Homo-oligomer: A and B are copies of this chain.
């Protein structure tokens, strides 16, 4: 017997038939003798509809500013999970499984006061644990909790993954199963490279890099949280037949286990290739090379709420002037350039050059910590295909390379092949 948290996203509860299917997945685990808590997202499309209304209403009233109160936004948007959790509880009861829904404020899942992008502080798990012990399934609303002001706070888009991992940590669950519309984590995007293989296991650190680098399987924050609390997290498909052979295999279900690297016996040098589209590059030419200049550049960008990704700064030749290159989302390029123009005098640089529509390709693997030459292999493979590298950044377990978007698919396939990820 184990304690399992099962999380189902919006497409998995998109309509009543799919909710029934989710109930069958849950019943399978209950029938196998496990204690189960379920975390659900809103029915697919609902959150977008609610967000759309909250954003539109100030314009409808002719307000000079389209801003809205984040606390009201939260109250509106959180209603989606309230509906899906109630429907799933009824579906479970209908097929003979004891269940009740729990809204974030009822548990409570305590968050901070950052409405619209709140962080979970604490989850009161005692009553839920007690009921799970009696065989009752707890169906928990994802994406939301109770802020110190006694109002609902939401965690930001995709927050249900984070809710699930946080609930799993609070309930000391043996595993957190994230049911989604893909059947696991792949060595790269199978739509680009059909030879991509599903990974049986991947370490928290690698998954964190993969998620940060554009693999949309899991929200980055949920992986961080899983890593901190060592929550063994399983990514698997909600669309398979709940009673197909092996689906209830506790030790080895179909999907990808995200776990501590110690659990991964045969460590590969490279685990996966990720890519992120719509990157824009900004280069500042002949920036004064003195203390405080980086703060002068990136401070105004942070204030403008622009997420800066790769940053490349070379050692300057003569110690006085250097070039700084970094990337931002293409959608933020205009805003970033205008913020930098305003800072030109205080920072001191000659020119701003920018280019939109680039792609960042990343090679990820814990094994590269102890293997030399991983980066060189990538550079050579790309050079052989005539792909020009615009910028490079590296971390202990990741090499990121900025290239022209026309070469995105070719680069992904080339790297996937050169590290032997095609082979079973």
A100 within 8 A of B: yes
A79 touches B87 (CB 8 A): no
B90 touches A83 (CB 8 A): no
A94 touches B19 (CB 8 A): no
B61 touches A23 (CB 8 A): yes
In this complex, what residue of B is CB-closest to A85?
Answer: B75
- Min C-beta distance of A84 to chain B, whole Å: 9
Known: A57-B19, A83-B79, A95-B61. A90 touches B105 (CB 8 A): no
A90 touches B19 (CB 8 A): no
Chain A residues 2-32 with CB under 8 Å of chain B are 16-17, 19-20, 23
Q: Which of B73, B75, B79, B91 contacts A61 (CB 8 A)?
A: B91
CA distance A105 to B23 in the complex (A): 28
B72 touches A100 (CB 8 A): yes
Known: A72-B89, A100-B72. A94 touches B54 (CB 8 A): no
A34 within 8 A of B: no
B20 touches A57 (CB 8 A): yes
Known: A85-B75, A150-B106. A90 touches B57 (CB 8 A): yes
B61 touches A20 (CB 8 A): yes
A76 / chain B contacts, CB cutoff of 8 Å: 82-83, 86-87
- Min C-beta distance of A303 to chain B, whole Å: 25
A381 within 8 A of B: no
Chain A residues 40-78 with CB under 8 Å of chain B are 50, 53-54, 56-58, 60-63, 68-69, 71-73, 75-76, 78
A72 touches B94 (CB 8 A): no
In this complex, what residue of B is CB-closest to A103?
Answer: B75
CA distance A80 to B80 in the complex (A): 10
- Min C-beta distance of A131 to chain B, whole Å: 13
A151 within 8 A of B: yes
A93 within 8 A of B: yes
- Min C-beta distance of A55 to chain B, whole Å: 9
B103 touches A53 (CB 8 A): no
Extra A-B contacts (7), CB below 8 Å, given A16-B60, A19-B60, A76-B82: A57-B91, A57-B94, A62-B94, A75-B82, A75-B103, A79-B80, A105-B105
A residues in contact (CB < 8 Å) with B: 16-17, 19-20, 23, 50, 53-54, 56-58, 60-63, 68-69, 71-73, 75-76, 78-80, 82-83, 85-87, 89-91, 93-95, 100-101, 103, 105-106, 150-151
Closest 3 CB pairs of A and B: A63-B94, A76-B86, A79-B79
